[in-house]
Structure 1
Amino acid sequence: MIDLHTHSTESDGTNTPSDLMDLARDKGITTIALTDHDTCAGLEEAANRAEEIGIRLIPGIELEISFKPGEFHLLGLNITKWKEEMVPALHGIMNRRLERNLKMVNLINSEGIDLTYEQVVEEAKGQVIGRPHFASLLVKKGLVKNTAKAFEKYLAVGRPFYIEKEALSLREGIDLIKRAGGHPVIAHPMSLFISWGKLPERLANWKEEGIEGIEVWHSGAKPRKSKRLELIADDLGLFKTGGSDYHGDNRKDRPLGLGTGGKAVPIDPAIPFL
């Protein structure tokens, strides 16, 4: 089994990098990518633990890319030079994330909800702060029943408390991943909110810019949509990946090791690093 999209406590998951490796082994996963949001902080710990227990870690990252109308997340897989190339470039990204989080607090306060940035920091418990931590606080304050509802009502794109990040351009994201020795892959392409009629052309253009693969078998994708993505990827010569997008208890609907339809993630022989 493989899983090429997971998160740890270093971004917005609830398992430490070491615990995530242990859980992967227990579930029979032999190759796993740690792809925390905008950080490589968990990769060394994960790599050390993976080596100890005999599974393979693919060092990775998930970068936010500036895009409309939907969300564009770019996976960097097998970023073997992350220490030399990726870490120095991430400081500016983290500063922009802080500014966004403070703006979200102010927006929530403007609606009469008592929430402080200190509460968000406490909720994050040392993780990189993101929307899941805001969602958890909204649940604790009784505004919604669960975190999924918090996103649906308040935090998703177009909702009242959503603030767009000052994200990287696609060119910047691709260049950064490739400098780090990695392979740029479009994560969960349904979140782009591009029509099926326009998607092949957009993907073809992005391939010209350096995109190498697309995440076809995501845990949130329906089987018929994954099948369409498979056909598009094959037609364009893009390799296909898949993953759970595991976040631990923050997203219980995304079990580790499972992709589309709750099934094990297939292995595309065209993936260059497997």
Structure 2
Amino acid sequence: MPVRPFVDLHAHSSVSDGTEPPAQVMAAARAAGLDVVALTDHDTWDGWDEAAAAVGRTGVALVRGAEISTSAGGTSVHLLSYLHDPQARGLGAAVARARESRLGRARRMVERIAQDFDLTWEEVERRLEPGGTVGRPHIADALVDRGYVADRSTAFTELLDTRGPYYVPYDAPDVIEAIELVRRAGGVPVMAHPRAGSRGRVVEDEVIAQMAEAGLAGLEVDHRDHDEGAKAQLRGLAAELDLFVTGSSDYHGAGKPNRLGEHLTDPDVLAQIESEGYLPVLRP
């Protein structure tokens, strides 16, 4: 029988809050034994071209995607969009607004932190790739370099938590609107880590049902932020709503302990995503 490919559908590069350039993410995917990886940087697809150029030399197929910041009644929802048209104006405009809001939010968070810690915006800004998407991980890295915390995870737990005094929310499109924009752009929308309660509030099943009605295609079930109970519950919900399930690492290079390939997606699900998407999977 042919060997089924190893597929990881959630990875970040330094174009957003990962620590490795897109080409290095592709090389890391090869080293991890993956056959397919999705590049899903936050609110941008500026890393696609560099990752695509590495497909031939790494032998790893590329799923072009993004992790889009959205909101449902004030609760943050991350939406993975796969294989959408990068020229689609509606989706591009919504993502650009979210990226701009992230920048203003990060500046305000640094201002708050600076009241208690010696930290400047310049220390955070120099960690950004030109045109990249800023996020709390960049602030976390600056705090680590200053010696205030040991690592990114500690920074999030002790200083940057959504319920902490330094947190500032940012404007993001409504999740239903975002799903519709992804679909109009020919993309395939999947809800990222739906039960990652350690990151903050999560939405109820009723909201996920509304998302499914709007065109949501799947749920990211196999993820390190989900315990076995959450995975079982999500599989049942996905079956009830006729959604497929995915598994992913949510890789950020050295920025998080997540390792490429620690959770995988069924190749049949990848085939379904490709059949629905505007773009093809780029293969060696």
TM-score range, shorter chain: 0.7 to 0.9
Q: What residue is the counterpart of 1:262 in the other structure?
A: none
Q: Judge conservation of contact 1:40–1:87 (CA < 8 Å) in 2.
A: no
> What secondary structure, in the 3-state scheme, does the structure 2 residue paired with 1:108 have?
helix
* Aligned-partner residue type, residue 107 of structure 2: L
Find out whether 1:170 has 2:175 as its counterpart.
yes
More relative contact order in 1 or in 2 (CA 8 Å, sep 6+)?
Answer: 2
Q: Which of 224, 233, 251 does residue 229 from structure 2 map onto?
A: 224
Cα drift, residue 69 of structure 1: 6.3
Q: Judge conservation of contact 2:244–2:269 (CA < 8 Å) in 1.
A: yes
Deviations 1:128-160, CA, capped at 9 Å, x for gaps? 321011112222223222221110111121112
Cα drift, residue 71 of structure 1: 2.9
Q: Aligned equivalents of 1:67 and 1:191: distance in 2? A: 15
* Aligned-partner residue type, residue 43 of structure 1: W
Q: Which shifted more, 36-45 or 205-214?
A: 205-214
Cα drift, residue 268 of structure 1: 6.4
* Aligned-partner residue type, residue 169 of structure 1: D
Q: Aligned equivalents of 1:29 and 1:8: distance in 2? A: 16
Find out whether 1:32 has 2:37 as its counterpart.
yes
Deviations 1:96-143, CA, capped at 9 Å, x for gaps? 122111111211123x32211111112335443210111122222232
Identity %: 36
Q: Which of 67, 71, 79 does residue 74 from structure 1 map onto?
A: 79
* Aligned ranges 1:50-199 → 2 under 5 Å: 50-67=55-72, 70-79=75-84, 81-85=85-89, 86-110=91-115, 112-124=116-128, 126=130, 127-191=132-196, 193-194=201-202, 198-199=204-205
Task: State the number of aligned residues.
Answer: 263
Q: Judge conservation of contact 2:68–2:95 (CA < 8 Å) in 1.
A: no
Cα drift, residue 270 of structure 1: 4.6
Q: What residue is the counterpart of 2:3 in the other structure?
A: none
Q: Aligned equivalents of 1:232 and 1:268: distance in 2? A: 21
* Aligned-partner residue type, residue 121 of structure 2: Y
Q: Judge conservation of contact 1:70–1:191 (CA < 8 Å) in 2.
A: no
* Aligned-partner residue type, residue 63 of structure 2: I
Deviations 1:163-217, CA, capped at 9 Å, x for gaps? 111111113311221232111111000136448xx42x33222211221111011
Unaligned runs of at least 5 residues, structure 2? 1-5, 275-284
* Aligned-partner residue type, residue 120 of structure 1: V
Q: Which shifted more, 213-222 or 116-125?
A: 116-125
Q: What residue is the counterpart of 2:273 in the other structure?
A: 273
Q: Judge conservation of contact 2:9–2:265 (CA < 8 Å) in 1.
A: no
Q: Judge conservation of contact 1:71–1:191 (CA < 8 Å) in 2.
A: no
Q: Which shifted more, 39-48 or 69-78?
A: 69-78
Q: What residue is the counterpart of 1:240 in the other structure?
A: 245
Instruction: Compute the TM-score of the two structures, normalised by the length of structure 1.
Output: 0.88
Do the aligned partners of residues 130 and 258 (structure 1) sit closer, same or farther apart at CA in structure 2, a change above 3 Å counting? same
Q: Aligned equivalents of 1:93 and 1:240: distance in 2? A: 26
* Aligned-partner residue type, residue 273 of structure 2: F
Q: What residue is the counterpart of 2:261 in the other structure?
A: 257
Instruction: Compute the TM-score of the two structures, normalised by the length of structure 2.
Output: 0.85
Q: Judge conservation of contact 2:69–2:98 (CA < 8 Å) in 1.
A: no
Q: Aligned equivalents of 2:18 and 2:60: distance in 1? A: 20
